[in-house]
């Protein structure tokens, strides 16, 4: 069957999926994001059963399945648990490389937050560093209202 296509140029058709999305953040995420936007405070939710504090917050504890009623303040300082430095200009990156990503466990939280690292030379980043949130000047209720975390 292959032979009948001999010499025929394969056509490639360009297309895109262009679907605009509007994701409902929901009340829980909204409270978290608004606290960052309006008060430069980072909040977490605490499970009544296992006492774990979740950042980003969860409405319900994923393992206990109890509604997390309690909101707690979490420090804007934490420890870097993992990181990478993007060197190649991968398509999903929002800016020019190098871009540094990290997982930061803030004091008071039991889970780490995924975010950027800034004001640091990529070669100096180490797991275990203490970092602090730097908030953006103009904040809109998005996760990028935290501009990045920088070493202290």
Partner 1 sequence: MGKKRVAIVGTGQTHHKSHRPDVNGQELINEAVQRALEDADLTIHDIEAVIIGNMDHFEGINYVDCWSVDGSGGTMKPIIKLTTGGTTGSTLAIGGYHMVASGMFKKVLVIGWEKNSESDTTGAITTAFDAVWDRQVYAGAISGLAAEAKSYMDQYGATNKDAARVVVRDRKHACNNPYAQLRKEVTIEEVLNSPMLSDPVHLLDICPRTDGACAVIMACEDVAEKITDRLDWIWAAANRHTYTYLGDATYGHLDSLTRASQEVYTKTGITEPRKQIDVIELYQPYSFAGIMWIESLGLAELGKGAEYIWSGATDMGGELPINPSGGVIGCNPIGATGLIRCAEIALQVTGKADARQVPDVNLAISTGFGGCFWSDIILHGKNKPDY
Partner 2 sequence: MENAAIIGVGMTRIEANKIRDTFADLAWEAVNKALDDAGMNMDDIDNIVTTSNDFWDGRTISCMAVSDASGAYDKNVSCVEGDGTFGAFYGLIRILSGSYGTTLVTAHSKGSEGISSLITNATFDPIYERALGLDMITGCAMQAGAFMHRTGTTAEQLAMVSVKNHGNARHNPLAQLPMDLTIDDVLNSEMIADPLHKLDCSPVSDGCCAMIIANEERAFQYKRDPVWIKGVAFCSDTYFLGDRDLSQARSLTEAARKAFAMAGIGNPANDIDVMELYDAFTYQELMWLEAMGISADGQAGRDLEEGRFAIDGDLPVNPSGGLLSGHPVIAAGLIRIGEVVKQLRGEAGQYQVKGAQRGVAQGVNGRCGQSHCVWVLDKNK
What residues line the site for partner 2 (CB under 8 A)? 5, 10, 12, 15, 17, 21, 23, 25, 29, 33, 54-56, 62, 81-88, 90-95, 99, 101-105, 111-116, 122, 127, 142-144
Instruction: Say whether residue 69 binds partner 1 (CB under 8 A).
Output: no
N residues, the chain? 152
DSSP string, 69-103: -EEEEE-SEEEEEEEEEE-S--TT-SSPSPEEEEE
Q: Rounded to an integer, what distance in angstroms lies between the CA atom of residue 73 and that of residue 54?
A: 11
**Exposed / middle / buried, residue 114 (Cβ in 10 Å: 0-12, 13-18, 19+):** exposed
Contacting partner 1 (CB under 8 A), which of 39, 62, 107, 126?
Answer: 62
Q: Rounded to an integer, what distance in angstroms lies between the CA atom of residue 138 and that of residue 146?
A: 10
The label of the residue with tokens 């690292």 reads 117
Of 43-51, 53-61, 90-98, 132-140: span binding partner 1 (CB under 8 A): 53-61
Report in angstroms how near the CB of residue 71 gets to partner 1 at its nearest: 16
Instruction: Say whether residue 8 binds partner 1 (CB under 8 A).
Output: no
Identify what 18 binds: partner 1, partner 2, none; CB under 5 to 8 Å per kind. Answer: partner 1
Identify what 59 binds: partner 1, partner 2, none; CB under 5 to 8 Å per kind. Answer: partner 1
């Amino acid at each position: 069957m292959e032979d009948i296509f001999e010499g025929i140029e394969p056509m490639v058709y360009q297309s895109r999926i262009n679907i605009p999305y509007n994701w409902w953040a929901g009340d829980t995420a909204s409270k978290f994001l608004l606290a960052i936007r309006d008060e430069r405070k980072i909040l977490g939710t605490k499970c009544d059963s296992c006492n774990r504090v979740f950042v980003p917050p969860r409405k319900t504890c994923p393992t206990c399945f109890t509604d997390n009623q309690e909101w707690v303040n979490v420090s804007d300082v934490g420890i870097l648990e993992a990181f990478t430095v993007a060197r190649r200009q991968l398509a999903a990156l929002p800016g020019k490389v190098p871009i540094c990503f990290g997982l930061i466990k803030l004091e008071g939280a039991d889970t780490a937050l995924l975010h950027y690292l800034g004001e640091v030379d990529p070669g100096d980043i180490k797991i275990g560093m203490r970092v602090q949130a730097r908030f953006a000047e103009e904040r809109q209720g998005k996760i990028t209202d935290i501009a990045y975390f920088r070493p202290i």
